[in-house]
């Protein structure tokens, strides 16, 4: 059982986390949801299309203009509060590595801290424990926030992923984060080249076998683009193919841009696997 905010999710229930970037320079939409009105419209659309989690980010992952903790909080805290008011049942996640921002968004009503940079600020887990919120424990290969990998190597990339994420998850629980609210994430593209991310996908079942819920953030990433030699706006098909493989291997939470399309893929895989009934089953029965 995965428990986040007011929601509980069964082990075989796929969960969509919709991305809402409060940045003027995000790699995918170049700031389309930087202002409040389009960002709130995006939340409403995502929820209507089947997203259970809204992931709010105030700093883009890649290199760019410096964003202080104060500016990151300015972009996210008020928005978290407004989403909490308008959508009381949605799970609110905030993508941050900074404990100061984590503290502020938890005060505003966040249910989950999505630490995409692998515990670079160890105090973030302490914040999650203090507020009783969930935590995403990610493998980033020791990379500093907002840096790109350069000639990174692993003896065994999945062994490293498991060592790091399980260590972060156990530490979080020891600090007081509810065990049922902790997820592990292989960190596609973070501290990895394309071959590393492909291997992490291929071996995702090893993470699932640990018993921790697995979150994957695949949406339109560079490893998809390099695999198919496609620019950012032409990576949806590759993303959905990777999503289907990840779902078959047992990942539970999917951080995405395209909610409706992802919902169909996850429902199809879940039905093939026998975890969901077809929406309609009339063929051959009339």
Nearest 10 degrees: CA dihedral of 119, 121, 126, 132?
A: -60
Predicted local distance difference test score (pLDDT) of residue 172: 98
| pLDDT tier at 31, thresholds 50, 70, 90 | confident
Give the per-residue pLDDT at 161: 98
- Residues 172, 174, 180, 183, Cα dihedral to 10°: 30
Task: Tell me: pLDDT of 29 over 90.
Answer: no
How many of the other CB atoms lie within 10 Å of CB of 211?
10
Residue 260, both tokens: 């409706």
pLDDT above 90 (res 148):
yes
pLDDT surpassing 90 at residue 71: yes
Which DSSP letter does residue 102 get? H
Is the pLDDT at 56 greater than 80? The verdict is: yes
Q: What is the mean pLDDT of residues 277-284?
A: 95
pLDDT at 199 over 90: yes
**pLDDT value for 24:** 87
Residue 28 has pLDDT above 80, yes or no: no
User: Percent of the chain, pLDDT > 70?
Assistant: 99
What average pLDDT is seen over the chain?
A: 96
Q: Write down the pLDDT at residue 145.
A: 97
Mean pLDDT on 179-183: 98
Left, alpha or beta for 130 (phi > 0: left; psi -120 to 50: alpha)? Answer: alpha
Residue 157: which of 193, 183, 116 has the closest Cα?
Answer: 193
167-176 contacts, C-beta under 8 A, 24 or more apart: 168/118, 168/119, 168/125, 168/137, 168/138, 169/137, 169/212, 171/119, 171/125, 172/125, 172/128, 172/129, 172/135, 172/137, 175/125, 175/126, 175/128, 175/129, 176/129, 176/130, 176/132
Q: Give this prediction's pTM.
A: 0.96
Q: What percent of the chain has pLDDT over 90?
A: 95
Q: Residue 146 has which token pair?
A: 């907002």
In this prediction, residues 134-162 reach a mean pLDDT of: 97
Contact 232, 238 (CB under 8 A): no
User: Taking residues 96-123, what's their average pLDDT?
Assistant: 98
Summarize the confidence of residues 239-253 as an average pLDDT.
98
> What is the pLDDT, as a whole number, of residue 32?
84
Give the whole-angstrom CA distance, residue 151 versus residue 90.
Answer: 40
pLDDT at 25: 77
Mean pLDDT of 103-117: 98
Average pLDDT over residues 103-118: 98
């Amino acid at each position: 059982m995965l428990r986040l905010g007011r929601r509980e999710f069964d082990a075989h229930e796929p969960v969509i986390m919709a991305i809402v970037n409060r940045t003027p320079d995000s790699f995918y939409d170049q700031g389309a949801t930087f202002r409040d009105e389009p960002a709130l419209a995006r939340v409403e659309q995502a929820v209507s299309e089947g997203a259970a989690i809204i992931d709010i980010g105030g700093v883009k992952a890649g290199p760019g203009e410096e964003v202080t903790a104060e500016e990151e909080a300015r972009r996210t805290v008020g928005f978290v509060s407004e989403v909490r008011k308008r959508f009381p049942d949605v799970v609110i996640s905030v993508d941050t590595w900074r404990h100061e921002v984590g503290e502020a968004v938890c005060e505003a009503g966040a249910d989950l801290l999505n630490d995409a940079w692998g515990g670079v600020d160890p105090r973030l887990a302490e914040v999650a424990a203090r507020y009783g919120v969930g935590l995403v424990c990610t493998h980033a290969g020791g990379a500093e926030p907002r840096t790109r990998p350069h000639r990174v190597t692993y003896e065994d990339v999945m062994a490293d992923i498991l060592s790091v994420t399980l260590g972060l998850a156990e530490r979080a629980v020891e600090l007081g984060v509810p065990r049922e609210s902790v997820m592990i994430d292989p960190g596609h593209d973070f501290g990895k080249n394309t071959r590393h991310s492909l291997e992490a996908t291929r071996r995702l079942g090893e993470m699932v076998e640990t018993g921790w819920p697995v979150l994957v953030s695949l949406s339109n990433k560079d490893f998809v683009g390099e695999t198919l030699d496609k620019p950012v706006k032409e990576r949806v098909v590759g993303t959905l193919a990777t999503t289907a493989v990840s779902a078959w291997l047992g990942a539970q939470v999917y951080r995405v841009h395209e909610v409706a399309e992802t919902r169909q893929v996850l429902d199809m895989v879940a039905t093939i696997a026998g975890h969901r009934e077809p929406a309609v089953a009339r063929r051959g029965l009339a």
